[in-house]
Amino acid sequence: MQRKNKPTMFYRLYLRVIAIIVLAGLSTAGLIINQKAQEAKIHALAVEGNNEVVDVVMSSGSGDSATEQGIAVTKNPLNKSESIDGDGQYKDIPSGWDGPISEDSSSTDLPGVNLITDSNPERVAKERIVSPSLKRVPNRSDDYFGMFSPNILAGGAIDKIQQDVDYKLDLFGTYINWNQSLASNTVQEVCKRGAVPVITWQSWNGRSSWNGGQDYPLKTIAAGAYDGIVVDNFVQLLNKCSGNVIIRFNHEMSIVPGKYGWYPWQGDPESYKAAWRHVVETVDGLEGSERIYWHWNPDQASSYADLYYPGDEYVDYVGVTLNHHKSGGTWTKFEWMYGASKEMLEKHNKPVLIAETASIEEETDPAKKAAWASDAIAYMKKNENIVGMIWFSIDVSSDGKQRDYRYSSTATTVEYMKAALRP
């Protein structure tokens, strides 16, 4: 048998160079993907109980070893070592979370479950007949403005916010898990004041208890296994709130299919749509459900968003999360950030409600955040498709990194926001 010629020294060197280039490219791509995922999630999970204390989790692509490994850093915004859960009981806040975020341990197919993969062609948008004395939900002629703040019921906070910006808020944002009551104290107070609550309703028990699986698997939601939770919550909500309510259900779902990220309802478009449709249809069967509106909120500029869209007949509003967290250098205006998602949102011909937006402070130039806020409100008024926005007013600064999204972080921001909100 004739032996094959050995590669020449030059050829071996050539192969090594090619291998180094390929490995370097893969490494760089991995770093970019990791950084993008982490930058997108300098985002606080604000979960309310009846006592308005939130559990804030954030991660960043700053280079710190913990955050670069995808460990979420937990911070208590009240600077306590404890937080209050939905039952008013104190519970420990872990200093970090080290559970997996890649494997869905609850994705096994269920026998007898018939998942809906297409919109129901027989379903039509339900007729909305509500009292004219109720606060209307925003429509094409509106520029509604609202606020989320973690301690909104404390010490006259609502009145102070409205006095600061010289504006009676139309919307109030709040975050509620499935092991908490939809008819929370905040929601009831907002309804009493004649405003519209926008509830980010999350099908889990919170990040501190998350083990990387699903507390409420999407497939079992779609199969009706949790209809008791859905019905009980909405019956209470409709009984205790006489006004209209917007439900922002399982937001920021739109990551790469088959992957799992910062929420358990991500990565499975078909199960997500099936769960969404089942929940909406279940609520539609309740008396008073014409006062419930559904808000679909993918992650910013996601190319996978359409895969998660449950259908026009199941959605009343669309929106994206637009939190600006760049400090230093050239800032990205709200209009440019929205522009990345504009076509994806507006093609559905639904009113656009930006249910979570804010900017951090530029420590050396307070006017930058102030101008960003002013520009955001001005663009909302200019774009007829955007009918409202909610400012995400919370401080998630951690480990020396300034992440202060509060509307009141400086007097300059308050004054600019007040001027922008004037008719």
Tens of pLDDT along 272-328?
999 999 999 999 999 999 999 999 999 877 789 999 999 999 999 999 999 998 766
DSSP 210-230: --SS-SS-HHHHHTTTTHHHH
Pick the more confident residue, 144 or 106: 144
**Cα(38)–Cα(69) distance, integer angstroms:** 10
CA-based angle 35:39:44, to the nearest 5? 145
Pairing of the two strands 72-75 and 96-97: antiparallel
The three-state secondary structure class of 407 is coil
Query: What are the tokens at 394?
Result: 């919370």
| 13 — pLDDT class (breaks 50, 70, 90) | very low
pLDDT in tens, 23-67: 444 444 443 334 334 333 433 345 544 333 333 333 332 222 222
Backbone angles phi, psi at 399, to 5 degrees: 55, 40
What predicted TM-score, i.e. pTM, was given to this entire model?
0.74
User: What is the amino acid identity at position 183?
Assistant: A
- What percent helix, strand, coil does the chain show, rounded to 5? 35, 15, 50
| 80 — pLDDT class (breaks 50, 70, 90) | very low
CB atoms within 10 A of CB 48: 28
E strand or H helix at 392: strand 386-392
Pick the more confident residue, 232 or 82: 232
Q: Which of 216, 330, 210 is nearest to 261 (CA)?
A: 210
Backbone angles phi, psi at 273, to 5 degrees: -65, -40
User: What are the structural domains, with CATH classification, of the chain?
Assistant: 43-421 (3.20.20.80)
CA-CA distances (angstroms) from residue 31 to 37, 57, 60, 69, 161? 10, 22, 13, 11, 41
Pairing of the two strands 292-296 and 96-97: unpaired
Which residues on adjacent β-strands are paired with residue 246? 198, 293
| 399 — pLDDT class (breaks 50, 70, 90) | confident
pLDDT of residue 142: 86
| 261 — pLDDT class (breaks 50, 70, 90) | confident
Alpha helices of 112-167 — where are they, by DSSP H?
157-165
User: Is a pLDDT exceeding 70 seen at residue 118?
Assistant: no
pLDDT in tens, 345-382: 999 999 999 999 999 988 788 899 999 999 999 999 99
User: Is a pLDDT exceeding 90 seen at residue 194?
Assistant: yes
Which residues on adjacent β-strands are paired with residue 353? 388
> What is the average per-residue pLDDT within 111-124?
42
* Mean pLDDT over each residue of the chain, to the nearest integer: 75
Contact yes or no for 317/351 (Cβ under 8 A): yes
CA-CA distances (angstroms) from residue 210 to 148, 200, 298, 319, 322? 24, 18, 21, 26, 25
Question: Between the ranges 110-119, 329-338, 413-422, where is the mean pLDDT highest?
Answer: 413-422
